[in-house]
Amino acid sequence: MFTLETILHRLRHGCQTMAYPDAAAPALPDRHGGALRVDAGLCARDCCACMPVCPTQAIARPSGEAVRLDLGQCLFCSACVDVCPTHAISKTKDHRLAVRRREDLRLGGAGAEELRLAGALGAKLLRLFGRSLRLRQVSAGGCNACEADTNVLGTIGWDLGRFGIQFVASPRHADGLLITGPVSQNMELALRKTYAAVPDPKIVIAVGACAIAGGPFIGHPQVLGGAGAVVPVDLFIPGCPPHPLTILDGLLRLLDRLPPINGIENRKNEDGP
């Protein structure tokens, strides 16, 4: 039973849910460098110091071109940042990492130097999912790091439910899947069946380097190299694991639930569902 002392204690405790996104995003911890940036103009000619230190071969440098960095494969270990003599690869401390297209995670070379952040779903899907989104989480061979940071969003400090987003137990009750892990051979059939059980229309979100490209297991014969090898993916959230703020930002971008930035409306997705 609630006593007067219990009620007073809760009143003194106050609201513990963060004000984001109505207020500024909380700062990332010092050890979390956020998104990486590639400055092709600073890339020294004939320098390949960053390539051998990358554990997932996320960095490439074709002959005569500037360095290329694939944030989908990146583990954000910062080894490349530490060894780069010209600081061509740098940390931005920006929690925003989610994109709608796999190719938008490839930086440098002849492409962009910074991420082209995710836009919202098309108008039809926004009408369906914009106020209420139910997701079935599938751990397709993950180590539980991405799964743990996803679970954090359900705690009182984050309260994912206030946005109308919830995780459900059955794919038949879901609007889409949130996939973690590199998709092991043993999980391929389970993932296909789970995807088929979600009613149309549906969305798929790949969370973490494993679900995007295989992570540290990239190229291993027992994994398929990410969710995209099995099901179509609508949102990619890189990291190893992504910070809960990065995951939340990606979900809110997809649902067009973020306030305008400096008076500019968030970019809508015009070329997809």
The residue ranges of every structural domain in the chain are: 123-254
pLDDT at 261: 55
pLDDT at 134: 97
> Can you name the residues that pair with 136 across neighbouring β-strands?
177
Which are the contacts of 225, defined by CB distance < 8 A and separation ≥ 6? 182, 183, 213, 214, 218, 219
- In Å, how far from its chain's centre is CA 141? 17
pLDDT band at 262 (very low <50, low <70, confident <90, very high): very low
Q: Prior bond to 241 cis, omega within 30?
A: yes
Write a three-state SS string for the chain. Answer: CCCHHHHHHHHHHCCCCCCCCCCCCCCCCCCCCCCEEECHHHCCCCCCCCCCCCCCCCEECCCCCCCEEECCCCCCCCHHHHHCCCCCEEECCCCCCCECCHHHHEEECCCCCCCCCCCECCHHHHHHHCCCEEEEEEECCCCCHHHHHHHHCCCCCCCHHHHCEEECCCHHHCCEEEEECCCEHHHHHHHHHHHHHCCCCCEEEEECHHHHHCHHHCCCCCECCCHHHCCCCCEEECCCCCCHHHHHHHHHHHCCCCCCECCECCCECCCCC
Residue 226 identity (one-letter amino acid): G
pLDDT at 217: 93
> Can you name the residues that pair with 268 across neighbouring β-strands?
120
Give the C-alpha separation, 133 to 251, whole Å.
Answer: 10
pLDDT surpassing 80 at residue 159: yes
pLDDT band at 48 (very low <50, low <70, confident <90, very high): confident
Q: Tens digit of pLDDT for each residue in 171-214?
A: 999 999 999 999 999 999 999 999 999 999 999 999 999 999 99
pLDDT at 110: 64
Give the C-alpha separation, 23 to 77, whole Å.
Answer: 29
Q: How far apart are the first and last CA of the chain?
A: 49
pLDDT at 263: 37
Q: Residue 26: which region, alpha, beta or left (left: phi > 0; alpha: psi -120 to 50)?
A: beta
pLDDT band at 40 (very low <50, low <70, confident <90, very high): confident
Q: Tens digit of pLDDT for each residue in 203-242?
A: 999 999 999 999 999 989 999 999 999 999 999 999 999 9
Give the C-alpha separation, 48 to 51, whole Å.
Answer: 6
Q: Tens digit of pLDDT for each residue in 49-59?
A: 888 999 999 99
Q: Tens digit of pLDDT for each residue in 95-110?
A: 999 999 999 999 987 6
Mean of pLDDT over the chain: 89
pLDDT band at 272 (very low <50, low <70, confident <90, very high): very low
Give the C-alpha separation, 135 to 155, whole Å.
Answer: 16
pLDDT at 1: 56
Output 7 or 135, whichever has higher pLDDT: 135
Both structure tokens of 191:
């993932």
Average pLDDT over residues 121-135: 94
State the CATH class of domain 123-254.
alpha beta
pLDDT surpassing 70 at residue 260: no
pLDDT at 5: 82
pLDDT at 111: 65
